[in-house]
Structure 1
Amino acid sequence: MRIALFSDIHANLAAFEAMLKDMDGQNPDIIYCLGDLVGYHIYPNEIIEEIRRRKIGTLKGNHDEKIEKIKTTAESLQEPGKNYAYHLIKEENRTYLKALPAHIKLEYKLRAGLLNLMFAHGSTRRIDEYILEDTDENYVLELMEEADAHLLFVGHSHKPYHRILKTNGSSVRRVVNIGSAGKPKDGDPRGCYVMLTLEPDAEILKNCFQVEFRRFKYDVETSAEDIEKSLLPNEFAENIRNAF
């Protein structure tokens, strides 16, 4: 079983298309998006509509949730500023974002035992909580035990990592931040997503899965120029150029 996971595309169509091309070449059995389809760029509708067309299981990110608080008018579509990205979203796509779930949990019964996967945008407690590589280990373990999760996959920080947590005996607790497909913040402008491979016949639970971070190139400069030609702040263009 090969599962593709991506997050934080943030309406960056050039990155999204490059990711899908790479991802299709990996032939995943299923794809999940951990949220933040919108914000920071000018192509939210194209992103949402392709995700819906492909029937990709998707969570609500904090930027997707933000549209519920932003009222769009004819005048706001002409106003420069950070909120311009949200005003571009069609009403039918707003309805879709509002209905997205907060979490997805998968339970696999493998030869080595039960393996529970939890997907969240920020954390299992809050959509905008950062679970970083150096977040207190006891706190992260508490979250995972509360959610009954062996593997926790998150986004939100835009910084990928795979963290193994200390546990007793042969139990498995790992956290994977899958990075950002459209707005990396780790100094590498390439987009990032994760391929998770499950091995159902492995005899030891910790050997039942493999996590691969895939970095892909896309036309960063053209994407940045699209922002600069819009009513969004130019700093958004510099952020994707510099992966900050």
Structure 2
Amino acid sequence: MKIAVVSDIHGNLPALEAVLDNLKRESPDVVVNLGDCVAGPLWPEETATILRETNWPTVRGNHDRFVTDDPIETMGPTDRFAAERLSPENMAWLKTVQPTIRLTEEVFLCHGTPDDDDRYLSELVEGPKGHLPGEATLLEELKGEKSPIICCGHTHIPRVIRLPSTGQTVVNPGSVGFPSYDENHPLRKTMAMGNPQARYAILTRAAENWTFEDKMVDYDWETASREADRNGRPGWARALKLGFFGPLS
């Protein structure tokens, strides 16, 4: 069995299209989407249309929830941009995505942690950056989830983490569409992949073992950067172009 795992597209249409083209060569048995599909100052409606047509198993991300559930007057600019541009059909589709998905007996899908789409699983924030959590922290955040493979997103940082005491593996594919960001919730922090490529992961089951591959895909990030800048988000523009967030330091 070969599973492609995408996450955190954030309305980046050219990045999604490049990943779709790459997936044709990979020919996975199934593609799964870990959420945060459209929020961002880019192409939310066009991205949602493609994702709706793929019919991929899709988990609800925290920003998907904000876009569909929060009053528009209380939304931040990232979510409001998407909410104001989604057609009724695509908004209805986004409301159908699931909080978590048990894909098989071995593979569990979530956006953040198994019980919270707005908590990090594969990163521990201490100070202004995220760091690899210890095994005890990871096991606590799993809240008793026993699946051998747990796929999560939310952090935008690719990781494959094996838990020695349980033999479980936590896989974060990174972000298709937004390689770096900063936020104040719950702590002020910056997360960065350090390059502008679109990222996703391939999981392959062969005999008794799983293998994991981090995929990096070139796309026209200059166009994505210009679109973010045109829509009044220079921080997004720099992150999309360089893979780092904020001014040079």
Compute the TM-score of the two structures, normalised by the length of structure 2. 0.83
Question: Is the deviation greater in 133-142 or in 20-29?
Answer: 133-142
Pick one of 112, 126, 139 that aligns with 2:116: 126
Distance 2:55 2:110 in 1: 18
Number of residue pairs matched by the alignment: 221
Deviation at residue 107 of structure 1 after TM alignment: 3.1
Amino acid aligned to 1:224: S
Amino acid aligned to 1:2: K
Match runs of 1:1-244 below 5 Å: 1-67=1-67, 68-71=69-72, 81-82=77-78, 83-108=80-105, 116-131=106-121, 132=123, 134-144=132-142, 146-167=144-165, 171-184=166-179, 185-199=192-206, 201-202=207-208, 208-230=209-231, 232-244=232-244
Distance 1:106 1:84 in 2: 31
Question: Which residue does the alignment assign to 1:205?
Answer: none
The answer to whether the Cα contact below 8 Å between 1:179 and 1:193 also exists between their aligned partners in 2 is yes
Any gaps of 5 or more consecutive residues in structure 1? 109-115, 203-207
Question: Which residue does the alignment assign to 2:127?
Answer: none
Distance 1:6 1:34 in 2: 6
Distance 1:141 1:22 in 2: 34
Distance 1:81 1:100 in 2: 22
Deviation at residue 71 of structure 1 after TM alignment: 2.7
Larger radius of gyration: 1
Once the two structures are superposed, residues 48-93 of structure 1 have per-residue CA deviations (whole angstroms, 9 ceiling, x without a partner) of 1111212111111011101121438xxx9xxx95432331112221
The answer to whether the Cα contact below 8 Å between 1:70 and 1:86 also exists between their aligned partners in 2 is no
Distance 2:114 2:173 in 1: 15
Question: What SS does the aligned partner of 1:57 have?
Answer: coil
Amino acid aligned to 1:174: T
Distance 2:53 2:82 in 1: 22
Question: Which residue does the alignment assign to 2:247?
Answer: none
Deviation at residue 233 of structure 1 after TM alignment: 1.9
Compute the TM-score of the two structures, normalised by the length of structure 1. 0.84
Deviation at residue 142 of structure 1 after TM alignment: 3.7
What is the percent sequence identity of the aligned residues? 29
Question: What SS does the aligned partner of 2:103 have?
Answer: strand
Question: Which residue does the alignment assign to 2:183?
Answer: none
The answer to whether the Cα contact below 8 Å between 1:151 and 1:172 also exists between their aligned partners in 2 is no
Distance 1:223 1:143 in 2: 34
User: Root-mean-square deviation (CA), in Å?
Assistant: 2.0
Question: Which residue does the alignment assign to 2:182?
Answer: none
Deviation at residue 209 of structure 1 after TM alignment: 0.7
Distance 2:5 2:119 in 1: 19
Structure with larger RCO (C-alpha < 8 A, sep 6+): 1
Once the two structures are superposed, residues 100-159 of structure 1 have per-residue CA deviations (whole angstroms, 9 ceiling, x without a partner) of 111111334xxxxxxx21111011020010111522311322444612211111110000
